[in-house]
Each structure stands twice: as structure tokens, then as C-alpha cells.
Structure 1
């Protein structure tokens, strides 16, 4: 028996903890979390103390805590997590014994683990020798059973609802019938009711790396909750747009196809890619050189056409104020300006504001987002407002949950709803659509195409 268990997505933290605990530590990589908490606990053995994190979101951590404590009621639970503003919610709602910063030094880490071990012994939940290193195994003692616990489940069972064709029906006939059966899609294009205003939102940033694409994706996700299948997200970062990659989508067509079909509604719809969260995507050009096939005027015409089909049109623009970005701003009702806490980024935003006001292209509805805010940056929100010459409408704190959600191909506001960054982005959605509150009790989580079913 190994007394300590770590479930984590951080290879660096795993390596560090192995150095501290040696053979007393069993590790289950975070990839197994995608299979569900039961799958993780099946592989856990009988630990005395489990450490969960870092880089696990609230829902994942809650599922693991519940499943582990159900099966092992005397287990000691430590959550390894940054000290963020929502920590109080975690402590109040999760059955944990301690919170450990992933940045705690080795001495503090071992001290916390030792104190929890002593507490478990003192309360009759464990024996002192439970925390000794497991005996070394001889080669002859090893069995394939320990390896089989990590094997993928075999697909021996036939899924329910699928039967062999009757004996008197040739196999070829059964295949033909399946091939001829109509494919039912789970979505449609709801008509835009007469008189319903269509809103278009451009997401703009002076430089790359500001989080513009992440905000665009989550804005589309939030708006789709109140207007399912009537939201379209246009990846107008023509050379290096990566929305389909961030959402783990295989595009049906690209913006090159869409601008060519803008005059034909039926053909245009075939170029759109549907996301399971109820919105459509116009994918970016498949390679940088094809961006030349999308003239700025054609992008403007595409936005106008999409506004006649969808309740909300969101345009993720190329960084800066190039010709395509200016055209996009000319055809939208709202603009979301995104910046980080770097002084060069902030000064560039001020220059953008001055230029757009001078040429009359500042949209009527402006939303200023300070992204990846950090108290350790040396600047405050008031400093930011002074530099850009405008108030900040939404402040999104720096959070590892953003990168985790992106790497999983899931919009943040549906992946970790309690994360402070997700809550801040939700407030941005509600600035545009005040009734955009989450309505589903179970948030959909889309698997990547290469994740196990």
C-alpha cells in the first residue's frame, strides 16, 4: 500500500513531490480525470492522504473528493491550489482537510503532510505504520494485474440498441439500409424573428497575446445560452486564427469559402461549423497566404449577411487596426477592447481610442476589458484607467483555469464556472445580454476528438 496519492496535471509538481515522498507516493496523471472520478478512484488503491492538484478545476476536484471520501471515509484530503479570491468557496463546499500552495517550499509541504498524518492517527483514522514506505517487491512478485488496472476497457459488449441483422437478410442489404437512413442533425438555423435586432460585436486588441480569442469564444458560448444556434463566431484573424483549434473543431469550411458564398444564403450555411454549445463558427483561412483571398470589403459584406441570419455575430479580429479590423468595426454595434497590464499594451489601446474617435469609427457600445490582471504587476486598475484615458468595464484576473480550459477545447465559462476569471467573463456577456444567466444545471463539457469516449 502506498500511503500518499497525487492526482495532478502538473508534471513539474509530480516530479517535485516524488522527490519528497519517494516510493510512498502513487501518482495518477490528470488525463485520467477526463474518464470520470470513478475511473480515478478505481486506480487509487487505498491511500491515507490524497493531494488533488494543481491544475484541476472546481468541478473535477469536487467529483474526486466526493468519490474518494465515499469509498475511503477516513481519507485525508489536501487540495493543492493557488491562493485565489474564490478559495473560501472551495473550503466551504468541499470536504477537505487542508489547502496547500503549489509554490510552498519543500519544508512547508512536508510539515503539512506530517501534521495531517499525525492528526489521522490521533483520531483513529490511520495507524502510524500506514505511512511507512511499502516493502520492495521482488521481480517474481510482480503480476500483470497491476498493469491491467491502467489498461483501457475492452469493447466486448455490443452497445444497447444495435442488433445483428436477421438471419434471412443478407449482410449487404442491412448495410444498404443503414447507408440510406437519413442522418438527423441535433440543431437547426432558427429564423430571426421580424423586428429582432441583430447585434454584432468586434473583439479588438492592439497586440497579440492579450486573450482576445479566449474572450471571443466565451462570449459566443454565453450568448448562445439565450439564443441557441443564433450566434455565429467569425475568426477574422485571417493569417493565424485558431478558434477551431481552441475548440477542437474540424471546420466544415473557412472564411475564404464564406466570403465567396456571402450572396447565397444556402451555400453560406454549408461553410459554417457547429459547436455543441449552440453556436456556429466561421473558421479562419487554412493557411496564411490564403488570407489574400478575403478582401476587406468582402469581410464587411459577410458580417452584414450574417447579421440578417443570426441574433449575435461576434468577430475575432486581427491584432492592431489594419484594414480588415477597421472594416469590422465599421459594421458592428459593439466593440470589446482587450488589453493586459503591460504599459506598452495600455498605451497602444489609448492610441487606438484616439484614432477611432478621430476617424469616427468608435462603435456606440464600447466595452473595455482588462485581461490577466495581477496585483503583483505594479499597476492598479486606477493606474490602467489613467494610462488608457477611459474607465475599465470588466477586470478578468489571471487564472490557470483559462489555459486548462483552452487545452481541453472547452469554453472556460462551461468548464470551471466558479473560477474568478469565468465569473468576470460572464459579467462581460451580461453587459451585452443582461439575461444571459446559465440555465443548465449540468454544464456540457465537450471532449476533444482524441479523448476516450
Structure 2
């Protein structure tokens, strides 16, 4: 019989709690949320005394799960596992929870908080005593106190652990996300997407790279829209950001502030939007953009930078910091010659990224040029050839990434090949396609 429940998208945190709580813990992967809160609650066995929600659950997800679990078991104790604490009051205003626990809290603090809440629930008559392992003692007078009052006097949250476990007496309508920790053994990759001219499909490539890489590294991918004048990553993804690149470069040295400003897409990646208005571009200097890219590379496995067409100072800065360069051109003489000139200049400057990917986009027959002609003009063979497809426009108008909107589309398959050049593990799966189809079904 299980005593505790964890709903989380973090396999690492799940493994850690299993080690601490053993057979007393049941886990429900957050991926079940793709099918609704009812599906999550339907996976819950027995009647757990304490539920931990997070990390990597949004405010709305946490609130809906908490409400559904409480409807099933009114006496349930709920702990939200999340990193940010600045908006704690908002979370508790809208949610009946007993405590907030940092995912970085020590094992001692985590176990102590869970077992003290369990003991209080038993003493207060909200849960039955556990017939297995002993429950923490020392709460004889808990029935006369709220858990907030009880824990406020607890030494477990003193000293170095004071920020690890926080007792909630209020709650938040602002989404908070906890990023998976970066493994020191895994290097971050900065992928700069560039084009010599506008209208080549650069943003489409950048967005779909983010989507595809997020399939194998969920919540570990961020796309930076550094097309300063008219960047439209947010528009392509149907997002309505309130913060933009100018806000991020001002906070380039503050990881906590960056986390609070990130915009999260439902496909498990984050977005740093372009300036909301072209005049704000003047507030962003190239050096500040470089510092932001460096900071993001410490936080994310993949940093994708969509750039301004041409070789302005901001694009050059993005290429200076890149491990991979994706260069996009249409199959026209003017664009190909411009790309050749761009390569020549970057070679002279020593700025060709060590991993270079050339993409020919919107390729169609009977235009007087074939990919072999592009090789002759550029002086290098194209790595990915993307055929012209109506699916690209349909996906953009739907505010959906191409590789998920119609995975069988010829252009989507070609773009998938680009994603796999960066990470060969990013293969399409039935689960991902099925999830997207369910989301698109009419209600």
C-alpha cells in the first residue's frame, strides 16, 4: 500500500524520491497530463496521505491536479515542488496546499517535511495511520495547530535549509518552471541559424530545431529570437509574450531573473522573444547579447539563436558563440551568391562554427536550378534539401511547428533530418504524433 504520491515530469526527481521513500511512494509521470487531469487522477492507487506535485508542472496543472485529488480525498496533504519563491503568495491564494519544497532541498529536509506533514495529518484526523514504516513522531499537539503553525517552529527549515522548504500560507497565478539541472559531463550546444537574405525560411528552421530537440531534451531547449527588428518566433508559435529580448539582456547575469521571464511552449521548450517593437532593438548591444547566450548555455542543453538576415554585428556575435551554424538559402542565384559571399567573409574572420549545416529551402522542380547547381555556386554541398510544400504555410497559419503539424509532409521529413544532424536520437515517435493529434481534435 502506497502512502505518498508524486506527479512530476522529472525522472531525476522521481528516482531521488524513490530512493528516499521506497515502496511508500507511487509516481505518475506528468506526461499523462497530455490526456487531461482525469487521466492523471485515474492512475492514482489507494488513498495517499501526501501528494507532491512537481517539479516541471505549471501553475494551472498543479492547481487542477490538486483540486481533483482533493475531490477524491478531502484530507490529502499537498506539497508543491518548485524552485521559484518570489511569487509564492500568488500560488497559495488560488490553491489549498500545505507546503512548498525546493527540488534542490537536501534529502534530510525533504524527508523530514514529508513525514512531519504525514504525522500532522494523522494527528489532525485527516489521514489514517500508516501500517508500514513508522511515521515521524513529536507532533502530539498537532491537532490544535495548522500545519503552517507547526512547521513554522520546526528547526528543519533553519540555517542553510531555510530556503529549501517553505511552508505555504498563500499561492500564485504566475507559471513557474524548474529547469532540469545541467550535467557537467554534457556540453551545451549553441546553434545559430543564419541566412544572407530575408525570406529564406530561417525562422522555420530555428523553431523546428527547438521542437525536435525538445523531444529528446524536454525543458532543456531555449530559442532566442535575435532578429531584432522584425523577429516573429512568437508569432509562428502563437505566443503572446509580455517580456522580450531587451528585458533578457538587461538580466543577462542574473539566472534567477532569466528563469522568471522565460516563455514556455507546450512542446517542452522555452522562448526568448524578439523585441516587441522595432525601436526597442536600440537597447540591445551585441556584447549584451553575447553575455545572454553564455548565461543560457549554462542553463540549457541546447540554445538556438534565430538571427537578423545578413551579417550585422548581432549575427556575428551569435556566430562567435555558436557550436553549430545552420545556414539557410533558397535555390535562387541571388541568394546562393550572397551565401557564398557570407561564407568567404566568415572564413576570413575565423567565425565558421565547427559544425556547419547548409540548408536549401523551398526547392522545387522546373525553376532552372537543381541542388547540384547550388553546390557549384556556394562551393560546398547542401546538407539538407527541403522541398517546397504547402504544409509549411498551413503549419505557420495554425501556430504549430511543422514537424508536429504534419509529420508525413515532405518538408517536415527534410526538417527532421536537420534536427537529427544535431541529435540523431530525435526521431519521430507514435506517442508524440498521437499527442498532437489529440490536441488538434475538436472538443
* TM-score, normalization by structure 2: 0.60
**Would you say 1:415 and 2:405 are equivalent positions?**
yes
Gaps of 5+ in 1: 1-158, 164-174
Equivalent in the alignment of 2:391:
401
Query: 1:204, 1:338 within 8 Å by CA — same for their partners in 2?
Result: yes
Deviates more, 1:375-384 or 1:438-447: 438-447
Summarize the alignment of residues 30-429 of structure 1 with structure 2, pairs less than 5 Å apart. Answer: 180=170, 188-429=178-419
The 1:372–1:351 alpha-carbon spacing in structure 2 relative to 1, beyond 3 Å, is same
Q: 3-state DSSP class of the match of 1:417? A: coil
Q: Is the 8 A contact 1:225 1:439 kept in 2?
A: no
Whole-Å separation in 1 of the counterparts to 2:420 and 2:431: 19
Q: Distance in 1 between matches of 2:216 and 2:246?
A: 29
Structure 2: gaps (5+ residues): 1-66, 72-91, 97-169
Taking the aligned partners of 2:193 and 2:437, their CA distance within structure 1 comes to 24
C-alpha distance in structure 1 between counterparts of 2:373 and 2:324, whole Å: 25
3-state SS of paired residue (1:344): helix
Deviation at 1:283, TM superposition (A): 0.3
Q: Structure 1 residues 407 and 162 mapped into 2: Cα distance closer, same or farther (>3 Å)? A: farther
> Equivalents in 1 of 2:197, 2:222: separation in Å?
24
On the 8 A contact 2:275/2:281 being kept in 1, the answer is yes
Aligned partner of residue 225 in structure 1, secondary structure: helix
Could you say if the C-alpha distance between residues 177 and 332 of structure 1 is closer, same or farther in structure 2, counting changes exceeding 3 Å? closer
How far does the alpha carbon of each residue in 1:63-101 deviate from its partner, in whole angstroms, 9 at most, with x for none?
Answer: xxxxxxxxxxxxxxxxxxxxxxxxxxxxxxxxxxxxxxx
Q: Report if aligned partners of 1:408, 1:447 keep a CA contact under 8 Å in 2.
A: no
Question: Is contact 2:203–2:233 with CA below 8 Å preserved after alignment?
Answer: yes
Q: 1: distance between equivalents of 2:233 and 2:353?
A: 24
Residue 182 of structure 1: how far off its partner (Å): 5.4
- Cα deviation for residue 216 of structure 1 reads 0.4
Judging changes above 3 Å, is the alpha-carbon distance between structure 1 residues 176 and 263 closer, same or farther for their aligned structure 2 residues?
A: closer
Partner-residue secondary structure (3-state), 2:216? coil
Following the alignment from structure 2 to structure 1, what is the Cα–Cα distance between the partners of residues 179 and 254? 15
CA offsets 1:197-237 (integer angstroms, 9 cap, x no match): 00000000011100000010000000001110000000000
Q: Structure 1 residue 435: deviation in Å?
A: 1.0
Cα distance, 1:287–1:195 mapped onto 2, change above 3 Å: same
Looking at structure 2, the residues matched to 177 and 354 of structure 1 have their Cα atoms a distance apart, in angstroms, of 58
The Cα RMSD (Å) is 2.7
| Matched pairs, number | 284
> Runs of at least 4 residues of structure 1 off by over 3 A?
159-163, 175-187, 444-448
1:253/1:270 contact within 8 Å kept? no
For 2:334 and 2:231, the matched residues in 1 are separated by 23
Shift of 1:438: 2.3
Q: Secondary structure at the match of 2:252?
A: coil
Task: Tell me, yes or no, if the aligned pair for 1:229 and 1:278 is still in contact at 8 Å.
Answer: yes
Q: Distance in 2 between matches of 1:425 and 1:408?
A: 18
What is the alpha-carbon distance in structure 2 between the residues aligned to residue 162 and residue 404 of structure 1?
42
**C-alpha separation in 2, matches of 1:198 and 1:251:** 26
2: CA distance, partners of 1:303 / 1:247 = 21
> 1:177 & 1:332 partners in 2: Cα distance?
43
Q: 2: distance between equivalents of 1:266 and 1:160?
A: 31
The 1:186–1:270 alpha-carbon spacing in structure 2 relative to 1, beyond 3 Å, is: closer
CA contact under 8 A between 2:234 and 2:240: conserved in structure 1?
yes
Q: SS of the residue aligned with 1:262? A: coil
Q: Tell me the CA shift for residue 311 of structure 1.
A: 0.2
The verdict on how the C-alpha distance between 1:177 and 1:273 changes in structure 2, with shifts beyond 3 A counting, is closer
Q: 1:100 maps to what in 2? A: none
The answer on whether the counterparts of 2:225 and 2:305 sit within 8 Å (CA) in structure 1 is yes
Q: Which residue of 2 aligns with 1:113?
A: none
Report if aligned partners of 1:340, 1:373 keep a CA contact under 8 Å in 2. yes
Query: Do 2:264 and 2:271's aligned partners in 1 also have CA atoms closer than 8 Å?
Result: yes
Alpha-carbon distance between aligned partners in 2 of 1:452 and 1:299, rounded to the nearest angstrom: 42
SS in 1 for 2:288: helix
C-alpha distance after superposition, 1:363-391 (max 9, x if no partner): 11100000000112111111111011111
